[in-house]
Each structure stands twice: as structure tokens, then as C-alpha cells.
Amino acid sequence: PGYAEYLVEYGGTGISDPPPSDRDLQIPEEQIETKASVLKEISDKLELQKLSPKESVKRIDHFFKTEFTYSLKNTEKTSNPINRFLQTTRSGHCEYFATAGVLLLRQAGIPARYVVGFSAHEWSDRENLAIVRTRHAHAWTLAWVDGKWIDADFTPSIWRDAETQSISQWRSLTDLWDYAVFQFQQWKWHKTDRSVYAFWLILPLVLILGRRFLILRKTRKVKALENADAAVLKNRIVSPFDAVAEFLQHQGYIRLPGESLKTWISRICREGFAEKTAGELNVLVNIHYGLRFDPNGIKPEEYQRLEESARYYSEP
């Protein structure tokens, strides 16, 4: 679709949802029929029946904020995910917190509703407006308190930090492009003065230059890493055990990619190479590590032991 214009009303008059009905106190049968109802157990523990609706919301909020964590990894399928969330994992995303909050409030006799929407917490200085993105989608709870609906967001606020981890490194450029498309749509549908859009004629040039700049910066980083790797190789300490490792490779005992030297030696010994000297090889690996990585180095007799092993394995 093209440009769409709509009006949003907001203010301090409260939520415009209709008053509660019997449906706002219903609890699914699978929650009621649980042998030891998890909802009742938690409700009794929090003493929600003794509290006012306002105090119950605060008690539930404190319960979730102090004993639960936010996570997007709770994806394991189960017949009763809410019970699993409340009893076992105590970790989940906003839908878990919102659903559990609704059920706990209803268990305490307080009408509650499950709500989905967006959390507008990102501000753009360019447009002087709040920006709402797909990743800002959120779920929370409505609670009937003192004769009106109030928002009750039981999800730990860290969820906002967690969603920012998905931000692309190209966000600045994509935002600029989206803004340009939005402005073009306004211009196309005569929603603004056309004379102000001469600037957008040079936008493609700006995007091209920005892309070249990012590529150049990335290239410089790669070259810096290559120079660092070259410096490491140049200053690398040569160990007599290198000859042992080379001999083993020639004998067909291939070292796997990413396999540490110690793991490799242990593996080939288990596979049948030099069973009688397996312990000796492991000792030599430890001495080799000391030569390469220990700031204090190794003893002269240990270095001599490495040299002797190199001669032993390299001689025909």
C-alpha cells in the first residue's frame, strides 16, 4: 500500500476498553484441573485474597521482577507452558508474563485482560517523534482497579535492552532510506510542499558515499587484524615439539580444525598410537605449553626433554 494517514487519540482520561464482564474472570480448565493448582498455590503464597486490587497488582509485579528473568529462548513445547513457566523455568518473554499475570489476577477475583501492542520508547530527533518498530511489539496485562482499567506490565524492563541486540549495523542507513520513502509518499499524495524535496535528489549519492565509507572502514579493520596475525607469527617461539607434531601429521594422524594440541594428542593415543608412551606425550605437551605461554618459561632439563623427543620421532 501507499501512503496512509490516520489519527490516534491519547491523553490522561484512562483506557477506553469497555467495563469487565464474566469473561474477564475466566480461567482455562487445564489450569483449574491441575492436581495442585499452580495458580492457587502462588495466589495463596502471595496472599492476594487479602489484598486490594491495587495492592495485588503491586505484589504480583514484585513477584515477577524479583523471582523471574526475561528470555527469548523458552521455546520448548509442552502441554501446559504457563505451569512450566511458573514452576520450572521462571524465565520467558513478555507473552508469558502477561498471560501469567492475567491468570493470577483472575485467580484472586480481579478482572484482567491480555493486551498486545507496541511499546513506543525510541525517540527520533530528526522527526521529533517517537518511532515504533516491529521489534517493539509487546504484551502486557490490563487490571480492573478502583473502577477503571490500568496497565500492568509484569515483564522485567530488561526486555528493551534485549531487543536492541537485534539492531543491524546498517540501521542508520536503512532509517534514512525509510525516512526518504516516507517523505516521498507524502510528496506523492500532496501532503506537503513539493519545493522542500530538492534535498532528496542527492539522497542516492549520500547513500553510496555512506556505503563506501563503511566498506573502507571494514577493510582497514581486516588489514589491521592481518598485521596483528603477522606480528604474532613473527614473534612466535619455536618449540622442539613442533617437529613431533609434524611427524604425527605425516604418519596420518591428522589434527582436526579447531582441535587443541592437547586434545589432538589425547585422541590419537586413544585411537591406538603409541599406547605405551601416551603418558609421555601428554607430559611433553604440557612442557610445550609452558615454553609457549608461561611467562616464566621452562627449566633447561625440560627443554632438553623436548629436544630428545623431537630427535626420537624424527629419526627413521
Mean of the pLDDT values across residues 282-289? 83
Distance of CA 177 to the CA centre of its chain: 26
- What would the pLDDT profile of 4-36 be if each residue is shown by its tens digit? 666 766 665 567 788 999 999 998 876 666 545
How does DSSP classify residue 200?
G
Q: Which domains does the chain have, with CATH numbers?
A: 22-164 (3.90.260.10), 171-234 (no CATH), 241-314 (no CATH)
Find residue 151's DSSP bridge partners: 142
- What single-letter DSSP state applies at residue 28? -
Q: What's the full length of the chain, in residues?
A: 316
> What integer is the mean pLDDT of 125-153?
86
- State how far the Cα of 132 lies from the Cα of 105, in Å rounded to an integer: 29
pLDDT given at position 234: 45
pTM above 0.85, yes or no: no
CA 64 to chain centre: 20
Q: What is the pLDDT of residue 104?
A: 95
* Residue 160 pLDDT: 66
74-111 pLDDT, tens per residue?
Answer: 666 777 888 889 988 898 889 999 999 999 999 999 99
Q: Are 153 and 140 in contact (CB under 8 A)?
A: yes
**Average pLDDT of span 53-70:** 94
